[in-house]
Structures are given as C-alpha cells and as structure tokens.
Amino acid sequence: MKMKAIALACSAVGVIASGQVAAQTPAPFSAPELKVILSGATAPDNFLVQIATGLFEAGFHRYQDNNGTAANFGDDGRGYNAFYGRVKTDPTVPATLRGRTVLFVKRSRGGSVWGVNPVARASRIETLDITSSTCVLEASIYRCSVKGLDPGLPEYANPLVNLGEVSDFGVSDVEPAMFKGPFNVEFGVQQLSNIEVARLEVKPVNALSMGIVATNAVPAETWLSRSAYGAMLSGTYQDWSQVDPSINSGNTQVIVCRRVQGSGTQTSYNWLFNNFPCQNSFGGLVPPSRMTDSVSGITGGTGTQLNPFTIDPTAGFTVVENPGSGNVRDCLRSAQNNLDHNFRGDDGNWYRVQFSNSTEPFRAIGTLSGDSASSANPNQNGWSFRYLDGAGVFNINTSTLAAGPGTGMAPSKANMIDGKYDFMVELTMQYRKAAVDRNDQGDSVPALSGLKLAFVNEFIKRAGDPAFNASPWVAALPPTFDPTSSPNVAKGTRFGNTCSPMQMLF
C-alpha cells in the first residue's frame, strides 16, 4: 500500500537522560546543513550506496525519482538518487564534515555531459523535488517527482518558471574535452567555449570498462567483430544476416538501444566505433545513427506522456535514444520480451517503441558500461555482455564464460587491468573553480568552496580509491596508485586523454 510521506516531527538532535545532547538521524524532509548536487554519468551509481554507507551514520534516508509514473515503483530511480543523513564522526571523515546533516543528490538523467556543461555554466537544470508533498514511501525509499527545466526547453531561462537547481560538481565517463558538437552535446545547447572550460577543476577518478551487448535472440555463437558492431551502430548494417548469415528468420532487422547525445557512454562508443571527436583528417569519422534514422519513423502520438510518439520496430532498422543506462537496459529487455518500451527523450517528448507489435523476439544491441553487469542476467533480463572480436556470452560478475565458444576478448577486469581489453575510458569529476557572474536565469553562482568543497573532495577521493574500485568493471588509476599494491589498480592509463593511446606504466 502506498503511504504518503509525512515529515517527522522529531528534531535532528535529542536530549538523553543525563542532559547531554545525542545526535540522531534527521527527519526525512527537515532542512539539511549542507545540500550537495552531483550530476552526470550513471557509472558511479552502483557504488553511491557504498559511499553513502561509508559517509553517513546508519539509518540515512534514500530518495529516487518516480520516472513520471507515480503508481509504478518498478521503474523508479532511472534518473535520480539521493541520500540524507548525518555524517559519521570517525577519523575516516574530514573533521569539518563530522556530525553535519547532508543531503546528497545525484542526477543521472541524460548522462555525462550533464556533469560538464551545466556545471561550467552554473545552469539551473531539472532536479529531484524532495518534499513531503511530492514523495511517496515505498520499500524504505521515498519516490519523488522532479522539478525544473533543462536547457533547450520552453521557459528554461525564466527564473520564475524554472525551479531547477545548479549542480555543485559533475561526473563524466570521459574528460570534458570529449563533449563536442554535433554528436556529443546535449539537446538544445552548444559545446563549451574555452573560457567556460577554464572554469572547471577536472580530476581523473578511475578506469571504467565499456562493453558490447546483445539480446538473447542473438545466438551466443554469433561472432561480433568490432567492425560489425560499429556498422550496426552506424546503420551500415541494418539486418542481422549481414553480421551472421545464419540469422535469416524472425525479426532480422537490427535494433539499436543507444543513449542520447551528451551521454558519456554514448561518447565512448562514438570514440571507439565512429572516431569522434578524435578524427584529424577529412573522412575520419562515421556519424552514429540516431532515432530519426529509424525506418518506421514516428507512426503516431503527440509526444505527451498519455499519448506518446510511437515507433514501430517491425518496419525495419530501429534506433532508440534513451536518457539513462537503466532505460537502455529496459529497451533491451523489452526488445527480447516483446514489451512496449516507454521513455522521455532529451527533447522533453515521450516515446513508445512498440515491441509488442511482434510475437517474435527482437535482436538488439546496446551501448552500456560494465557497471550494468549487475543487471545482466540473461535468464531474467533478456540480454548479456558479449566477447569483443569473438563469440560468446560473458558473465562480468563472475568473470566466466556463460554460453557459446568464448573466443575473442572478454570484458573482464583482469583483461582491463592488463591493457588487453582496451574498450575502457577514464572517468573524471569536475567542479567550478571560478564564479559565474550571471547564468541563463540571471543567478550569480560562486566557485565551490567551504563545506561543499570539503564534501566534494572527500567524495572524489573515495570514488578513486582502490577500496572503492573492487567491482569487476572499474579500476583505480596509475600512477596515483600502484597496481603491485592492490588488485584494483590498472597498469595502464591514457592520462585523462581519451584520444591518446593507452600507455602501460607497469
């Protein structure tokens, strides 16, 4: 049963019998001493809980977005996650933060570029609306609506209408220099100027593996070369028979579940498969396919949530641009299981891909980083990670062959650390080191300083530490850390320049 969230009447501190004041968990909607907003890549989302657990006393509150469907809890948390609690008072935490009540909000909607451009410009953007009247408690997590407007949408610059907030720092799968137009910039805006880039303090955090994925309808024996996968992403190959001649029945059209422009994951694929923005000569890049390249186009609807634009994937080659990694996973699962896939695009419109128009599973590929491995159970979700330049299903969590011959290069942590699996990028975090005199809404926003800067630096330190990079899809970076002292440190790096060759240091 849904419970309307009600602000608790208790205060953040209580008086015990001895007369001394003892710290307590703050009420879920009381005012925090410090609010910090992080926007950008979804890659760190899986260890947000781990970092929050390490920073906050037990009993902290959690919040997620309701994905625009207040009655459906299964699709929550695709775009936003937040944590509110009291910072621990132990020596692992900087003294200035101990005992403080902090509300930490992470925006993942749209991906990496939202941790770059809006941060440098101090732009108000859509954020989670955490109030007792907008949130519902379900399974110990408050599911909330959102507020504010993103750049490119009507009334975005109107300060009276746009109730969004400014991000304090950002995270991106790749360094800010990679977010160039026309393929790697978010909807409705231009790439950063040199002056805007200079406002950012950029700090490399860790190495993150990317992967090639396919729905279960694609046989585990199908050889997926780098060139064939790139051809499907670019629309050169629009039928699976071009990849594997044995795929000649059912839905043979290629379905691409990709990310929106400005996503760091999508930028990583644009780099490896399309040579953008690393090209330095005429004809040096191949444009990635977009949703407008779908054979069916828009078949109906008005773009509202109640009457979304519809796309018929049975018509042929179909590209779906998803706002978050969770939406890509939903797209893959829906394609495999003939479920309609609903999402809100970066243009503010709603879309429905009608996979239910067929009773045969669709054969889809996607753009995902290795952190989606926690959801990559072929028996439950309908898709899996595959070997690069080979054939087989690989279980990243167990580092084992799950099906097929297991040829080619596996996206394993061992291969990533040794430099054998080079489809890896270096995640960065960045914050404003200079003030913005006037943003699009007329706000004056100072450089990050004081308690916020202390919290941000502590978060960045923890995110890059080998102890927080134990997951099978990430690794700490050399030369900051020594791979001989920890199994969670890579032996090579691109020194924060994606366009640079990998350099092995150990």
Write the pLDDT tens digit of every residue in 420-475: 999 999 999 999 999 999 999 999 999 999 999 999 999 999 999 999 899 999 99
Query: What is the residue extent of each domain of the chain?
Result: 209-417
Helix or strand (DSSP H, E) at 86: strand 80-86
Return the minimum-mean-pLDDT range out of 228-232, 350-354, 368-372: 368-372
User: Which of the following CATH numbers is that of domain 209-417: 3.40.50.2000, 3.40.50.2300, 3.40.190.10, 1.10.645.10?
Assistant: 3.40.190.10
Per DSSP (E only), the strands in 192-287 are 200-215, 251-259
Average pLDDT, integer, range 284-296:
93
pLDDT at 44 over 80: no
Asked if pLDDT for residue 478 goes beyond 60, the answer is: yes
How far is the first Cα of the chain from the last one, in angstroms, to the nearest whole number?
56
Number of other CB atoms surrounding residue 378 within 10 Å: 17
Q: Tokens for 480?
A: 């900051």
- The mean predicted confidence, pLDDT, of the chain is 92
CA separation for the pair 387, 213 (Å, rounded): 9
On whether the CB atoms of residues 102 and 35 are closer than 8 A, the answer is yes
In angstroms, the CA 47 to CA 49 distance is 5
Cα 484 versus chain centre, distance: 30
Q: What is the mean pLDDT of residues 3-29?
A: 49
Q: Is the pLDDT of residue 14 over 70?
A: no
| Residue 261 scores a pLDDT above 50 | yes
Tokens, residue 499:
């366009």
Pairing verdict, β 383-386 and 146-147: unpaired
Question: pLDDT class for 282, splitting at 50, 70, 90?
Answer: low
Confidence of residue 2 (pLDDT cuts 50, 70, 90): very low
Task: Could you list the beta-strand ranges (E) of 260-397.
Answer: 298-300, 309-311, 318-322, 341-344, 350-353, 362-369, 383-386, 393-395
